[in-house]
Protein backbone atom coordinates (compact mmCIF):
# COMPACT_ATOMS: atom_id res chain seq x y z
CA UNK A 1 0.00 0.00 0.00
CA UNK A 2 1.97 2.98 -1.25
CA UNK A 3 1.53 6.26 0.52
CA UNK A 4 -0.55 8.91 -1.10
CA UNK A 5 1.41 11.84 0.25
CA UNK A 6 -1.51 13.39 2.04
CA UNK A 7 -1.18 16.20 4.55
CA UNK A 8 -3.83 18.36 6.17
CA UNK A 9 -3.02 21.15 3.74
CA UNK A 10 -3.28 18.89 0.73
CA UNK A 11 -6.65 17.62 1.88
CA UNK A 12 -7.91 21.13 2.51
CA UNK A 13 -6.66 22.29 -0.88
CA UNK A 14 -8.57 19.49 -2.57
CA UNK A 15 -11.65 20.38 -0.56
CA UNK A 16 -11.34 23.99 -1.71
CA UNK A 17 -11.08 22.89 -5.32
CA UNK A 18 -14.05 20.60 -4.91
CA UNK A 19 -16.42 23.10 -3.33
CA UNK A 20 -15.44 25.85 -5.74
CA UNK A 21 -16.07 23.57 -8.69
CA UNK A 22 -19.23 21.85 -7.55
CA UNK A 23 -20.67 23.87 -4.71
CA UNK A 24 -20.48 23.68 -0.96
CA UNK A 25 -23.01 20.88 -0.88
CA UNK A 26 -20.76 18.60 -2.90
CA UNK A 27 -18.15 18.35 -0.17
CA UNK A 28 -18.14 14.82 1.20
CA UNK A 29 -15.31 12.83 2.64
CA UNK A 30 -16.21 10.08 0.20
CA UNK A 31 -15.66 12.37 -2.78
CA UNK A 32 -12.36 13.59 -1.37
CA UNK A 33 -11.12 10.07 -0.71
CA UNK A 34 -12.00 9.05 -4.24
CA UNK A 35 -10.08 12.02 -5.64
CA UNK A 36 -6.96 10.85 -3.80
CA UNK A 37 -7.53 7.21 -4.51
CA UNK A 38 -7.55 6.31 -0.84
CA UNK A 39 -10.13 4.72 1.42
CA UNK A 40 -12.42 7.11 3.21
CA UNK A 41 -11.19 6.50 6.78
CA UNK A 42 -7.63 7.33 5.73
CA UNK A 43 -8.60 11.00 5.65
CA UNK A 44 -9.06 10.91 9.41
CA UNK A 45 -5.29 10.73 9.75
CA UNK A 46 -5.13 14.30 8.47
CA UNK A 47 -8.35 16.05 9.42
CA UNK A 48 -10.58 15.54 12.40
CA UNK A 49 -13.68 14.82 10.41
CA UNK A 50 -16.23 16.67 8.35
CA UNK A 51 -16.86 19.42 10.89
CA UNK A 52 -13.16 20.01 11.26
CA UNK A 53 -12.83 20.25 7.51
CA UNK A 54 -15.65 22.77 7.34
CA UNK A 55 -13.89 24.86 9.92
CA UNK A 56 -10.65 24.73 7.99
CA UNK A 57 -12.45 25.91 4.88
CA UNK A 58 -13.95 28.78 6.84
CA UNK A 59 -10.47 29.73 7.96
CA UNK A 60 -9.06 29.55 4.43
CA UNK A 61 -11.90 31.71 3.17
CA UNK A 62 -11.42 34.33 5.87
CA UNK A 63 -7.68 34.50 5.35
CA UNK A 64 -7.76 34.60 1.57
CA UNK A 65 -10.52 37.15 1.54
CA UNK A 66 -8.67 39.30 4.05
CA UNK A 67 -5.51 39.13 1.98
CA UNK A 68 -7.40 40.11 -1.16
CA UNK A 69 -9.06 43.05 0.57
CA UNK A 70 -5.78 44.19 2.07
CA UNK A 71 -4.13 44.17 -1.33
CA UNK A 72 -7.03 46.03 -2.90
CA UNK A 73 -6.94 48.79 -0.32
CA UNK A 74 -3.20 49.27 -0.46
CA UNK A 75 -2.30 52.70 -1.75
CA UNK A 76 -5.88 53.82 -2.15
CA UNK A 77 -8.24 55.94 -0.13
CA UNK A 78 -11.76 57.30 -0.17
CA UNK A 79 -14.02 56.19 -2.94
CA UNK A 80 -11.21 54.50 -4.81
CA UNK A 81 -10.49 52.37 -1.77
CA UNK A 82 -14.12 51.46 -1.26
CA UNK A 83 -14.49 50.55 -4.91
CA UNK A 84 -11.34 48.45 -4.94
CA UNK A 85 -12.25 46.65 -1.73
CA UNK A 86 -15.78 46.02 -2.93
CA UNK A 87 -14.59 44.61 -6.25
CA UNK A 88 -12.01 42.47 -4.52
CA UNK A 89 -14.69 41.15 -2.20
CA UNK A 90 -16.98 40.24 -5.06
CA UNK A 91 -14.06 38.92 -7.06
CA UNK A 92 -13.14 36.52 -4.31
CA UNK A 93 -16.71 35.32 -3.94
CA UNK A 94 -16.95 34.75 -7.68
CA UNK A 95 -13.63 32.97 -7.91
CA UNK A 96 -14.29 30.83 -4.82
CA UNK A 97 -18.06 30.50 -4.51
CA UNK A 98 -17.90 27.24 -2.60
CA UNK A 99 -15.23 28.39 -0.23
CA UNK A 100 -17.03 31.66 0.36
CA UNK A 101 -20.05 29.71 1.52
CA UNK A 102 -18.07 28.51 4.50
CA UNK A 103 -16.86 31.97 5.50
CA UNK A 104 -19.61 32.45 8.06
CA UNK A 105 -19.51 28.93 9.46
CA UNK A 106 -16.35 28.78 11.54
CA UNK A 107 -15.67 26.15 14.14
CA UNK A 108 -16.93 27.27 17.53
CA UNK A 109 -14.36 29.36 19.36
CA UNK A 110 -11.92 29.31 16.47
CA UNK A 111 -9.33 31.89 17.46
CA UNK A 112 -7.59 31.76 14.09
CA UNK A 113 -10.81 32.49 12.28
CA UNK A 114 -11.50 35.34 14.65
CA UNK A 115 -8.06 36.77 13.88
CA UNK A 116 -8.65 36.49 10.14
CA UNK A 117 -12.01 38.20 10.54
CA UNK A 118 -10.35 40.94 12.50
CA UNK A 119 -7.91 41.43 9.65
CA UNK A 120 -10.85 42.01 7.32
CA UNK A 121 -12.30 44.50 9.77
CA UNK A 122 -8.98 46.29 10.07
CA UNK A 123 -8.92 46.86 6.33
CA UNK A 124 -12.36 48.39 6.49
CA UNK A 125 -11.40 50.62 9.39
CA UNK A 126 -8.40 51.83 7.43
CA UNK A 127 -10.65 52.66 4.52
CA UNK A 128 -13.04 54.54 6.77
CA UNK A 129 -10.18 56.69 7.87
CA UNK A 130 -10.31 58.28 4.44
CA UNK A 131 -13.88 59.30 5.20
CA UNK A 132 -12.87 60.73 8.54
CA UNK A 133 -14.76 57.94 10.27
CA UNK A 134 -12.43 57.10 13.09
CA UNK A 135 -12.71 54.20 15.47
CA UNK A 136 -15.59 53.82 17.88
CA UNK A 137 -19.27 53.07 17.40
CA UNK A 138 -19.57 54.96 14.11
CA UNK A 139 -16.80 52.87 12.59
CA UNK A 140 -18.40 49.68 13.87
CA UNK A 141 -21.71 50.71 12.35
CA UNK A 142 -20.01 51.53 9.07
CA UNK A 143 -18.17 48.23 9.02
CA UNK A 144 -21.40 46.37 9.63
CA UNK A 145 -23.04 48.26 6.80
CA UNK A 146 -20.27 47.55 4.33
CA UNK A 147 -19.94 43.91 5.28
CA UNK A 148 -23.70 43.45 5.14
CA UNK A 149 -24.00 45.07 1.75
CA UNK A 150 -21.10 43.22 0.17
CA UNK A 151 -21.99 39.89 1.70
CA UNK A 152 -25.61 40.28 0.73
CA UNK A 153 -24.76 41.11 -2.83
CA UNK A 154 -22.42 38.21 -3.43
CA UNK A 155 -24.68 35.80 -1.55
CA UNK A 156 -27.60 36.79 -3.74
CA UNK A 157 -25.47 36.69 -6.84
CA UNK A 158 -24.04 33.25 -6.08
CA UNK A 159 -27.51 31.98 -5.27
CA UNK A 160 -28.79 33.15 -8.62
CA UNK A 161 -30.95 35.79 -7.00
CA UNK A 162 -30.43 38.42 -9.66
CA UNK A 163 -32.71 37.23 -12.42
CA UNK A 164 -33.82 40.52 -13.91
CA UNK A 165 -32.52 41.47 -17.32
CA UNK A 166 -30.08 44.04 -16.09
CA UNK A 167 -26.34 43.93 -15.91
CA UNK A 168 -25.28 42.71 -12.50
CA UNK A 169 -21.96 44.45 -12.97
CA UNK A 170 -23.65 47.80 -13.40
CA UNK A 171 -25.84 47.20 -10.38
CA UNK A 172 -22.71 46.48 -8.41
CA UNK A 173 -21.10 49.70 -9.52
CA UNK A 174 -24.21 51.51 -8.36
CA UNK A 175 -23.90 49.72 -5.06
CA UNK A 176 -20.35 50.98 -4.74
CA UNK A 177 -21.61 54.49 -5.45
CA UNK A 178 -24.23 54.04 -2.76
CA UNK A 179 -21.66 52.91 -0.21
CA UNK A 180 -19.49 55.87 -1.04
CA UNK A 181 -22.44 58.19 -0.68
CA UNK A 182 -23.46 56.71 2.63
CA UNK A 183 -19.94 56.84 4.04
CA UNK A 184 -19.50 60.41 2.81
CA UNK A 185 -22.56 61.39 4.84
CA UNK A 186 -21.70 59.24 7.82
CA UNK A 187 -20.98 61.86 10.40
CA UNK A 188 -23.54 64.43 9.37
CA UNK A 189 -27.13 64.34 10.48
CA UNK A 190 -28.11 62.80 7.21
CA UNK A 191 -31.70 61.81 7.31
CA UNK A 192 -32.52 62.24 10.91
CA UNK A 193 -34.18 65.61 11.02
CA UNK A 194 -36.20 65.04 7.91
CA UNK A 195 -38.62 62.78 9.70
CA UNK A 196 -41.88 64.60 9.95
CA UNK A 197 -44.70 63.81 7.59
CA UNK A 198 -43.50 60.42 6.55
CA UNK A 199 -43.87 61.52 2.98
CA UNK A 200 -41.06 63.98 2.86
CA UNK A 201 -37.77 62.58 1.79
CA UNK A 202 -36.38 66.03 1.77
CA UNK A 203 -33.71 67.60 -0.30
CA UNK A 204 -30.28 66.51 0.75
CA UNK A 205 -28.23 69.62 0.29
CA UNK A 206 -25.02 67.80 -0.14
Partner DNA sequence: AACGTTGGCTAACATACTTAGCCTTTTCGC
Partner DNA sequence: GCGAAAAGGCTAAGTATGTTAGCCAACGTT
Residue ranges that bind DNA, judged by CB under 7 A: 1-7, 27-31, 37-42, 44-46, 49-51
Q: How far is the CB of 32 from DNA (least distance, A)?
A: 8
Do residues 115 and 91 lie in contact, with contact meaning Cβ atoms separated by under 8 Å?
Answer: no
With beta carbons less than 8 A apart as the criterion, state whether 77 and 128 touch.
no
Q: Are 1 and 38 in contact (CB under 8 A)?
A: no
Q: Residue 11 or 176: which CB sits closer to a second copy? A: 176
- Does residue 111 bind a second copy (CB under 8 A)? no
Reference 149, options 130, 172, 168, 116; nearest CA is 172
Pick 64 or 180: Cβ nearer a second copy? 180
Which listed range, 1-9, 16-24, 91-99, 158-166, lies at the site for a second copy (CB under 8 A)? 158-166
Binding footprint of a second copy on the chain (CB under 8 A): 76-81, 83-84, 104-105, 114, 130-131, 137-138, 140-142, 144-145, 147-153, 155-156, 159, 161-164, 166, 168, 170-171, 173-175, 177-185, 188, 190-192, 194-195, 197-202, 204, 206
Amino acid sequence: MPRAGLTPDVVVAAAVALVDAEGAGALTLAALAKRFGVALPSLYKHVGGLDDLHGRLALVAARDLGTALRKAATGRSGRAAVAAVARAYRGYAQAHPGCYDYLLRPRPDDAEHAAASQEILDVLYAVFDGYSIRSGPPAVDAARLVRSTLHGFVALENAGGFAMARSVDRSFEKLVDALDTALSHWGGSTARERVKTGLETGDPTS
